[in-house]
Structure 1
């Protein structure tokens, strides 16, 4: 690890994982992760003027698609040590393909008040208008800001600040690809200042994962028109848990229900909406395969979590419990969906 002394306050760890932000031209004509975290920091105009003491290191050098859950758990341990040593925040640079997942996993694993800010780039450094330097500058600004404390893990690109539990990648190539369908961005970086316009109602912190067992294998299966669900039993036979990306508010074809009920009797099964925004329903519809029918058959609603985040949460929870009631309570707490009604 190298240390770049800029000023006395505050201290931010910058950790590189690779991705588009760190790519350079390869012999085959494409770009590959080649630049170190130190290279990225050195290329950012205005970074020295922030008055932030940076501890810079490279943790991985690969596309975001090749990162694993185990990588992120190990990274969380590295960051915890950085916070113990006095860092007030951390910035992670990585590929954008998996930012919405790695950020949420880091959010679940961060037991401190120190913010973790994940950033990247949509245009690699060889292109005109590369966005990596501006994104890294904004990310360090947010990580060093006292306004970000207690917000958990954040995603910062295009000067927008997103909560890890909300953010989604919405476009294959646009620099403004990241959006938060449920609630919008938490704020913006404006003229070098962090401007928050809303805060999450709560932040869920699950029990620390049990490191003495392998990460549970949790599958994700998407409901599609005309699928009879015949492949589900074979898929589920190799899994410790399953997430269904269901239609609409949490619906699957009627042909699925027998298979799903049998699977839910063996392993935890969570259903989320494949739409990517809004809550799963719990008691609106009553037909076979509807949300109320699935709950009656032992499935667990994901609340406001999209299928990708629900899968990660289930993986972490399954390291400590497979109790359906405990999992149901945890999913409700994670999404602030505690079932309170005023009517």
Structure 2
């Protein structure tokens, strides 16, 4: 991870001073570095021997983080977010234009890292994931403010915008290590299910977390009219009066200052958070099961504990 962080800092540099300044605001703010960790751990799990001349996994882990960071910069502009990782978001600090353009720069850097790796298979996996992320974000935009969205469509959204990159981050680890389809497939399934669990918990936290712990504004999803499982579950289980409330605040975007508190109350009363976390636990179980093909090791245990961390960060 230290080598990966060095690679990230090195490759975000540019003679255009605003680029590293803005990128550093988000990247240096920390974050969990979960996606690059998955690439590094997956490669080592598959027997990749790191050394001075064997650093492919490090470059690709940095690549994965750049793809993720680029999407965060763009997402915050689209969502008009003001907080990210507990700090002012880049768009709030530097403006929308700079955030979009630096996001573009980081996407371009990620493709430079892919080409430097030299594997067409790796490039196909990561470029496909990049396209899927964009599709997921657009699909989410089309479901916004629509309470008739089926749960299946919501799951399709989070698969695109989150789980696809988790899956790719894990799968390239197997490719770098020269493993076959069996290991590739297992790690792709692991990453997909971990990503689904991660986003479900993230959506639950938007209605259940302390803002300082969450690192972003609680209730952002409500204000933006985003359709997430906590809202769909609360709407489905609510009374006629409750449904009218959700239709006003989500579909009509007619919101008052007290609406967030009432929304939190309804979500608690209907057990919507529990339903969301239960669904996340199902995906987490499937993620851990996918690792069964690998022999027991410290790295396998690390990846299993990463799943547990993901689902229990809500508590």
Shared fold per TM-score greater than 0.5: no
Structure number with the higher strand fraction is 1
Normalising by structure 2, we get a TM-score of: 0.28
Normalising by structure 1, we get a TM-score of: 0.26
Q: Relative CO higher for 1 or 2, CA cutoff 8 Å, sep ≥ 6?
A: 2
